[in-house]
Amino acid sequence: MHDDVDELIRRRTQVEIPAEVEDRLRRRLAEFRVRVEQRPPSRLRSFAYSLMSPPVLRPAAMTAVALAIVAAGLILVPRESRASQVFAAAANELKSAQSLQYTVVLNSDPYVGLDFAYLAPGYRRVNFSWGMEVRTDGATGRQILLMHGIHAYLNETGKTVESQSNIDDFSAQLRALPDRADDVLGEQWTGQQKLLGYRLSKTPPNGSIPGLKTMDIWIDSATREVHHVDITVQEKGKPEHQMHIQDIRVGAAVDRSLFDLTPPAGYSAFVVPGAKSTTAPAAQAPSMEVPAAISQTAEVAAVVLPMTGSYAQTAAALGTVSDWLDKKGVTPTGPPLGRFWSDQHWEAGYPVPAGTQAEAPLKVVTLPAGLNASAVVGGAWGKDTEARWGAFLKSVVDQGYVPAGPAVEIWSGEDGKPETQSTGMRIPVEKVK
């Protein structure tokens, strides 16, 4: 009896689609397919997949996930609008990105830019436009600074343009955007691209931009990827200013050789004396100026103890050299010094008269004559090492020079009396060609 109704419906609905209509529908399908294939991955689903493997766990896992989703739906998660879904999708894509590259423009006039690249599992590369490059290897904890003079831009005030910690913060903040924005800003068009704007009024997780007022995130409505970020900063007592993160490339192929810690031709590797080799963001450098004096210096001979590893061994190394000099009746010609080739290769010792002979493990080295940059900073030895070397090197680059050899520190004053102590900074340099 039922068959006659079913048969009638079946017979009356068995019709062919006209070719013209089929073409139109297939075009819709093709557009849809592109959108699906560009759709960012769902972390929730990945989690669900992981729960369902092996299959024996599937019923329990499905029940657990279903209960969790029902609970979240009923209690925790309000229904999301399409706008918030777009934001959440973009935030998720950044979180799961294997690589991330972008440019930070701090001031557009005069231009000061920083190119940043992140490559999982933890390589970072920051290229400061005024001639300094930082590379870190998250896996081994190694970090090098490279100096070059190709782009010697400086902002007009000559202040430190940005600390590495802030650059790392941008990366951390982009990769840790919350799932929801505080405000929706509406649409913006750039050529044929429709951008959807979202505003964060609170510092995102892991972020520490001083004086952050707003962070506006603009997302391409078609690809659901972050197009650019406008950051407004309002520090107490200072005028409001903006920073821009642009040219954002998520998951793009990145040349791994950029993260090679071997300096390329034309670059000078530079080790900050006393600085720890770590990928943890350094404390923000205090604003400091250390003018470098460029001059020709004479050759200096020194008896040193070759060292590797922690700089905390400096005092012990100097004690060894001092005892040997006392024993041999050699009088140092100046205060103790350290020369730093890399974090695994450094020397500590005393300048001595030319012609002095040494016995292993000590050795006699020569600080060659030539063009050197130098400065003396008062205060306790080892204090603000990274900040003062950063300021010193900036002064070197500012004057059109780049480092051409290992850094040397000379420690004057009395041990245990910081008020008497000062640190001489010296590094071979050459003029930028």
Partner 1 sequence: MNDRQQEYQRLIAPIEDRMMRAVWRVLRDSEDAEDAFQEALLTVWKQWDRIVVHPNPHALVLQICIHAAHDVLRRKLRRGRRLEAAAIPEDIPDPSASAIQTISDAEQDAAVLRAIGNLPKNQARAILLHAVEEVPYKAIAAAMKCRESTVRKHVARARTKLRVLLSHLIPSVPKEERTHA
Binding site for partner 1 (CB under 8 A): 1-2, 4-6, 8-10, 12-15, 17-18, 20-22, 24-26, 28-29, 32-33, 35-39, 41-42, 44-45, 48-49
Report how far residue 131's alpha carbon sits from residue 147's, in angstroms, rounded to the nearest whole number: 6
d(CA 217, CA 164): 22
For the CA atoms of 31, 33, 37, 38, what is the dihedral angle to 10 degrees?
Answer: 20
Determine the Cα–Cα distance for residues 100 and 117; give it in Å rounded to an integer: 6
Give the residue with the Cβ less far from partner 1, 25 or 283: 25
Q: How far is the CB of 180 from partner 1 (least distance, A)?
A: 18
Nearer to partner 1 by Cβ, of 49 and 111: the residue is 49
Cβ 31 to partner 1, closest distance in Å? 8
Alpha-carbon torsion angle 168, 169, 170, 172, nearest 10 = 90
Q: Is 221 exposed, middle or buried (0-12, 13-18, 19+ CB in 10 A)?
A: middle
Closer to partner 1 by Cβ: residue 64 or 316: 64
User: Hey, is 198 helix, strand or coil?
Assistant: strand
Task: Sheet with 241-250: list strands edge to edge.
Answer: 183-190, 193-200, 212-220, 226-233, 241-250, 99-108, 111-119, 123-128, 132-137, 142-147, 268-270
Q: Smallest gap, in angstroms, from Cβ of residue 146 to partner 1?
A: 36
Task: For the CB of residue 131, give the shortest distance to partner 1 in the complex, in Å.
Answer: 40
What does the block give as tokens for 1?
């009896």
Q: Which is nearer to partner 1, 71 or 354 (CB)?
A: 71
5 versus 312: smaller Cβ distance to partner 1: 5
Smallest distance from partner 1 to CB 63, Å: 13
- 419: tokens are 């008020």
Return the SS3 of 428: strand
Decide whether 15 or 74 has the Cβ nearer to partner 1: 15
**Minimum distance, C-beta of residue 196 to partner 1, in the bound complex (Å):** 16
